[in-house]
Amino acid sequence: MALEDALKAEILKALISTKGNLAPLGVRLAWHASGTYSKYDGTGGLDGATMRFDPESADDANAGIGIVRDALLAVQQKFPSVSVADIWGL
């Protein structure tokens, strides 16, 4: 449980700082990434965090999400054993 608590604390620190509150964009990132899931064939969703790559990263519907992706890079570097998708979901 210590890893999970430390991870959550780092995510909060990355999203909420004196520079501003990126939490709403974090929710939007998780929603847009998971909203691609298809219950019919099990594809899409947070798996692989594919919104990091074109064409999804450049899609107009995802405008501005790069800000929160960039903010979470430090978390990804500090916790390399945790997938990008899991960080986005948390």
Report for 35-44, 50-59, 80-89: range of highest mean pLDDT: 80-89
First vs last C-alpha separation in the chain: 14
Beta strand 20-21 with 16-17 is antiparallel
Distance CA 90, CA 85 (A): 9
Structure confidence at residue 75 (pLDDT): 96
The residue ranking higher by pLDDT, 52 or 85, is: 85
In percent, how much of the chain has pLDDT > 90?
A: 58
Could you tell me the pTM of the whole model? 0.84
What is the sign, positive or negative, of the torsion defined by CA atoms of 16, 19, 21, 22? negative
Q: Which pLDDT tens digit goes with each residue over 10-23? A: 999 999 988 899 99
Q: How confident is the model at residue 38 (pLDDT cuts 50, 70, 90)?
A: confident
For residues 30-36, give the mean pLDDT.
Answer: 86
Domains of the chain: 2-89 (1.10.520.10)
Which pLDDT score is estimated for 1? 65
pLDDT, averaged across the chain: 90
